[in-house]
Amino acid sequence: MNPILAYLLIAVQTLAWLLWLWHRRPQQDTDDNNPLLLLYASQGGQAETLAQTLAPQLGITAHNLDAWHARHPLKALNHKTLILIASTTGEGAPPDNAVRFTRTLCKQTVPLTNTRYHLLALGDKRYPHYCAYGHILDRELKRLGAEAASPIATVDNLDPQTIAYWQQQLAAAHGLTISTPAEAPYHNAILRTRILLNPDSAQPIYHLRLDCPAIPADTPLIEITIPQPHEQEIRRQYSVAAIAPDGSRGLDLIVRLQTHRDGTPGPGSAYLTQTLTA
């Protein structure tokens, strides 16, 4: 081979390799230089939905706690104002996408520097550990020297007035205009089929097929209103497994029957898997 051609080939290969390394370099988040940091911990989707709705109004990106922590050490919270939206799961535990962050936070001994936070804790007063994870975040951040820029706000069953008041506090503290999220469109749905997927399991999982002609085909989450006798109705959010593209708009849900430690079923999953009739 011509020596000049060989050298050119080597140069091209080297350049391609360097470009490959460049594209694989760690990327800095666009929000790293912003004093505001919006983080959420979400199990069923409520906290994530609120954070994603709030993010464009703040001009920043919403991150779940573990995804943010995978790219940042805890000291990256220094000189930040945190906006935290946190749900509680199980017996007062953090949601799945906040477990690693919480473990690090609780073990941390080095104080945070010039860190402030606004905290919205989501929960349901029907459960004994109401907003427990939000209180854990509040306690641990204060232990490390962070300052609560506003009192922790606890929200029962996504109460819109409490959420709106917290948003007003947030807006006033930072000179922002934040609009209250619009009410999600309401659609009627009819249960067509419900199939138990694991009959031999102690934790039954069901496949539900609902007819909902008006729902958009790209709907990622739905909120179901669950009637309660002599009590205020409650709401639960569920991820959509699939929506039929054939125009029938059949809506597929995969739902596990949740059971509390005392043996009582969760009201949302019990309604969908036991009470709702075709």
CATH code: domain of residue 77? 3.40.50.360
Which CA distances in Å does 231 have to 146, 155, 159, 234?
Answer: 39, 17, 15, 9
Give the tokens for residue 144. 């490390």
201 in the same domain as 119: no
Helix (H) or strand (E) holding 194: strand 190-196
249 in the same domain as 197: yes
pTM above 0.75, yes or no: no
241 in the same domain as 156: no
Q: Strand, helix or coil at 219?
A: coil
Q: Report the distance separating Cα 74 and Cα 84, nearest Å.
A: 15
Name the band, by pLDDT with cuts 50, 70 and 90, for residue 202. confident
Based on the structure, what is the number of domains in the chain?
A: 2
> Within 10 A of 240 (CB to CB), how many other CB atoms are there?
16
Asked whether the predicted pLDDT for residue 83 surpasses 80, the reply is yes
- Burial class, 62, CB count within 10 angstroms (exposed 0-12 / middle 13-18 / buried 19+): buried
Give the tokens for residue 26. 């760690």
- Burial class, 51, CB count within 10 angstroms (exposed 0-12 / middle 13-18 / buried 19+): buried
Give the tokens for residue 131. 């907003």
Specify the amino acid at residue 30: T
162 in the same domain as 71: yes
166 in the same domain as 225: no
Q: Which residues pair with 251 in a beta bridge?
A: 210, 243
> Would you state the pLDDT for residue 252?
84
Question: Each residue of 235-275: pLDDT tens digit?
Answer: 776 767 666 655 455 778 888 888 877 778 878 888 889 88
- CA 177 from centre of chain: 23
Q: Report the distance separating Cα 85 and Cα 172, nearest Å.
A: 18
268 in the same domain as 169: no
In a domain, 26, yes or no: no
170 in the same domain as 195: no
Structural domain harbouring 210: 190-275
233 in the same domain as 132: no
127 in the same domain as 232: no
238 in the same domain as 124: no
Specify the amino acid at residue 275: T
Top-confidence residue, 260 or 98: 98
222 in the same domain as 164: no
**Which of 75-84, 129-138, 229-238, 243-252 shows the lowest per-residue confidence on average (mean pLDDT)?**
243-252
Longest C-alpha distance within the chain, in Å? 89
